[in-house]
Amino acid sequence: MKLLTALFAIVVGVGGTVALFYGLNYLVEHTLPQRMRDTARPWVFIGPAILIVGLYLLFPALDTIRRSFMDARSTSFVGSKNYEYLVTDPGTRETIWNNVLWILVVPAVSVAVGLAVAVLADKLRPKWENTAKSLIFLPMAISFVGASTIWGFIYAWRAQGQPQIGILNAIWTQLGNEPVAWLDQQQYNDFLLMVIMIWLQAGFAMVLLSAAIKNVPDDTIEAARIDGATEVQIFWRVVVPQIRSTIVVVGTTILILVLKVFDIVLVMTGGRNGTDVVAHRFITEMINNRQLGRASVLVVFLIVVTIPFMISNIRRFREQESAR
């Protein structure tokens, strides 16, 4: 019975879409004067998509902004109170500071690791290059939650005397130290979480950067060699400038991902011990604390911070396209 419903839904959904476009096209063909047809046709096809994106994306975004000026249950207007909370509450401030740390560390390290692997793999024979690159790329296939679970085992802690199931503590205690509850260490637990994200994203960075490096014309490198550049100088002065736009695109793409990081924190620490980040905090505010206003402010904050990076990314992308 369920299968039938699903089939029915598919047939009606797909058929309806086809019928809609066909019908609209028919209308354009038969009701509009010749001159207007060419102008109208693209709109007929792109219109429904714009409408749906507007309905499901733009409207909620605007509604979130509205709610950010209202109280916990979105019943009365409270002015900028929620925004004041955003900047004054120590917990929220710590959350934002954590996000800043993530932004500073993760994209930079991911790009650096990706670049290093891409360059080194490029010097290997093709067979080994592909093996090495596949291994680095493999984590990309794992979800954030899955990766977090894996790393949860790596960082796992058992009281002294019990067998250590976490690989890090297993090594650490073998070296004669007492087991450490790594994720409770406020000085560096943020960075332990970032490692997971870097592990996941370095492969992505590597794939794009590797392709970019292979696109650098060999003869510019040979010309530099004849101009008297050392291999290190060739890398920094000839190769890196030629792949700069890819580096920026990869960096900003990871940066946008970092701004939205949520799953890793939820699975690993649940935001305890000073590891909370904005995206996780807003879920906590909304679901656990039932503070719709405060949650909305956090979302608005995220959107506002993301926009400039999005714009720069799109602009870069266009530049690259037009340079082709």
Partner 1 sequence: MGLAHPSGYADREIVVAKIEMDGVWKIFPDGTEAVKDVNLTVEDGEFVILVGPSGCGKSTALRMVAGLEDISRGKLKIGDEVVNDLSPKERDIAMVFQSYALYPHMTVADNMGFALKLAKVDKSEIDKRVKDAADILDLTEYLDRKPKALSGGQRQRVAMGRAIVRSPQAFLMDEPLSNLDAKLRVQMRAEIAGIQDRLGVTTLYVTHDQVEAMTMGDRVAVLKRGQLQQVDKPQVLYDNPDNLFVAGFIGSPAMNIAAAQIERAGDDWTVTLGDSTLRIHPGAIERYPRVRDYDGRRVAVGLRPEHFEQGAELPEGQVMRGHEVALVEMLGAEMLVHFQTNAAPIISEDMREAIDDDEAFAAMERDAKKGGQRFTARFDPGDPPKVGSTIDVGFRTEYLHFFDADNGTALR
The residues binding partner 1 (CB under 8 A) are 217, 219-220, 222-230, 233, 237-238, 241-242, 244, 323
Give 220 or 289: the residue with its C-beta nearer to partner 1: 220
Residue with tokens 């709109």: 43
Nearest-angstrom CA–CA distance, 148 and 270 = 12
- The total number of residues shown for the chain amounts to 324
Nearest-angstrom CA–CA distance, 241 and 247 = 9
CB of 155 to partner 1, least distance (A): 43
Backbone angles phi, psi at 70, to 5 degrees: -120, 175
Give 176 or 228: the residue with its C-beta nearer to partner 1: 228
CB of 319 to partner 1, least distance (A): 12
Give 50 or 211: the residue with its C-beta nearer to partner 1: 211
Nearest-angstrom CA–CA distance, 202 and 200 = 6
Give 178 or 219: the residue with its C-beta nearer to partner 1: 219
CB of 220 to partner 1, least distance (A): 5
Nearest-angstrom CA–CA distance, 149 and 1 = 37
CB of 205 to partner 1, least distance (A): 21
CB of 116 to partner 1, least distance (A): 21
Backbone angles phi, psi at 230, to 5 degrees: -80, 170
CA dihedral 268, 271, 275, 278 (to 10 degrees): 120
Give 29 or 319: the residue with its C-beta nearer to partner 1: 319
Give 56 or 236: the residue with its C-beta nearer to partner 1: 236
Give 101 or 229: the residue with its C-beta nearer to partner 1: 229
CB of 233 to partner 1, least distance (A): 7
Residue type, 317: F
Q: Retrieve residue 67's tokens.
A: 């709610």
Nearest-angstrom CA–CA distance, 48 and 4 = 28
CB of 313 to partner 1, least distance (A): 20
Backbone angles phi, psi at 261, to 5 degrees: -60, 135
Give 89 or 319: the residue with its C-beta nearer to partner 1: 319
CB of 143 to partner 1, least distance (A): 38
Q: Retrieve residue 21's tokens.
A: 């476009």
Q: Is 58 exposed, middle or buried (0-12, 13-18, 19+ CB in 10 A)?
A: exposed
Helix, strand, coil fractions of the chain, as percent rounded to 5? 80, 0, 20
Nearest to 305, CA basis, from 259, 258, 257, 251: 259
DSSP code per residue over 35-66:
HHHHHHHHHHHHHHHHHHHIIIIIHHHHHHHH
